[in-house]
Amino acid sequence: MNISTSSQHYGLNFDNSYLSLPDVFYKAQDPAIVSNPKVELLNESLAKSLGLNVTLLKSHGAQYLVGNTMFEGSKPIAQAYAGHQFGGFNMLGDGRAILLGEHITPDKVRVDFQLKGAGRTPYSRSGDGRAALAPMLREYIISEAMHALGVPTTRSLAVTSTGEKVYREQGLKGAVLTRIAASHLRVGTFQFAAALQDVTQLKALADYTILRHFPAILDAENTYIALLNAVIVLQANLVAKWMQLGFIHGVMNTDNMSICGETIDYGPCAFMNAYHADTVFSSIDANGRYAFANQPNIAHWNLTRFAEALLPLFHESQEQGIEIAKACLDAFPQLFFSSWLAGMRKKLGLFNEETEDAQLVDDLLMYMQKNKADFTNTFVALSHDNIVEGALFQDAGFLNWYALWQARRTRQTEDTNQQLALMHANNPKIIPRNHLVEEALTAAEESGDMRLVHALLNAVENPYGECNADEKYSQPPSASFDQRYKTFCGT
């Protein structure tokens, strides 16, 4: 492993605070050396915001972005965690991801700098620790689209091909994703700590998490109860944003729920086209556990697992600890509903609140589902006060709803232009449509043609602005595409 002294030249300022935790939470692990790395995508705007040297990363960054050469100050590790995967508990860990360290930005913001697909680790089990090009490009595209949509998310700094094949059903081009995150602390990290049955280690993890992410609660009467409440609020708001955009995570295992409220681990995720509450695209979600409408329930379930892990820190009496946890968790449904409804009001141009607003939204979704209306484009049409052709806009029930909505809009002081401006700011014109994502990934994988990837990234970077992109980026696929479309976890 080559060690570089040029971290400062690249603008990197590494720290390794995670190593202050007991060493049971991680294992030292160097990335695997690869033969011929090449930077396929570099997120220049993100790099600049992190204070990194874009020119140097583009010209000489490939060896660093796959881990062939280490930045000075980096102490690479694989993190341990556990998780409920489709309801079943497993002891896990970073099976193909290596944390190089934490970069401290010029603004003193601490972010994780991780390589995904960087080779085997002590937690790989039977996996090879590698990643294929297409799934890494997919995470780059979707995570950057989510960022542009205003959703808290991990970010993608780069995708670097390795010059080597990875083998799944067939040989595929290998790649490494450089992922930036506020941290990689997960509900599953706390489940891992709880499974060790050592309160000292659990407390160390909780204290580290509070100091890193929630310093405002340090003066709380019980900081661990305050921690649970803070994470509940973050997750309620996060999933509400997903639901307002038609996003389906696809694999909401507890190891895929970030403590700091970022969307993490883009595997079999997708955006819904025709609205249906039970939409599932993931090939591994045969029973619809993580279907679109079930995401709030699963978030609540995952948070319950988080609370269970923290129980010893709530009260010396387990019985009282359980009562405390229940009281905290009972707040989640209303927190989620309030956040979701507030966002849906904005999508409909409503500034004030009326009791019947929830029913107004539910009725719209019901008519959308009945008529297989496109989720994104329906709200775009409404935000232009534009009744367009299509089954939904010919439905007598929907037309009655439309009249009720217009009447509702009159019962506020803001004028039509203000209402439409609110709708434009909350109804994206462009999302990363599944068929276009697959088209771009196929071109990159099969012929090395990155033009469609770049064009798609350009299209999704300003989803709420004036749409200057080709019309195809705002059009849904055929119904037959959606009916047969499946997403995969990419492992």
Residue 174 has pLDDT above 60, yes or no: yes
pLDDT in tens, 76-122: 999 999 999 888 999 999 999 999 999 999 999 999 999 999 999 99
Q: Could you say which of 15, 23, 198, 255 is catalytic?
A: 255
Mean pLDDT of the 44-68 span: 95
The continuous run of DSSP H or E covering 355 comes out as none
Binned at pLDDT 50, 70 and 90, residue 470 comes out as: confident
Angle of CA points 109, 191, 299, to nearest 5°: 75
Residue 435 has pLDDT above 90, yes or no: yes
Number of other CB atoms surrounding residue 244 within 10 Å: 24
Give the Cα separation of 79 and 486 in Å (integer): 30
**Are the C-beta atoms of 96 and 36 separated by less than 8 Å?**
no
Please report the pLDDT score of residue 1 as a whole number: 53
pLDDT in tens, 339-368: 999 999 999 999 999 999 999 999 999 999
Token couple for 257: 């729920």
Give the Cα separation of 227 and 224 in Å (integer): 5
Please report the pLDDT score of residue 5 as a whole number: 46
Rounded to the nearest integer, the mean pLDDT of the chain is 94
What pTM, to 2 d.p., does this model score? 0.95
pLDDT in tens, 6-17: 666 899 999 999
Mean pLDDT of the 220-242 span: 98
pLDDT in tens, 140-168: 999 999 999 999 999 999 999 999 999 98
Residue 223 has pLDDT above 90, yes or no: yes
Residue 170 has pLDDT above 90, yes or no: no
**Are the C-beta atoms of 479 and 373 separated by less than 8 Å?**
no
Mean pLDDT of the 400-413 span: 97
Please report the pLDDT score of residue 30 as a whole number: 96
Residue 483 has pLDDT above 90, yes or no: no
**Are the C-beta atoms of 96 and 116 separated by less than 8 Å?**
yes
Mean pLDDT of the 2-30 span: 86
Please report the pLDDT score of residue 6 as a whole number: 63
Answer yes or no: 255 catalytic. Answer: yes
Token couple for 84: 């409920």
3-state secondary structure 241-265: HHHHHCEECCCCCHHHCECCCCECC
pLDDT in tens, 269-316: 999 999 999 999 988 888 899 999 999 999 999 999 999 999 999 999
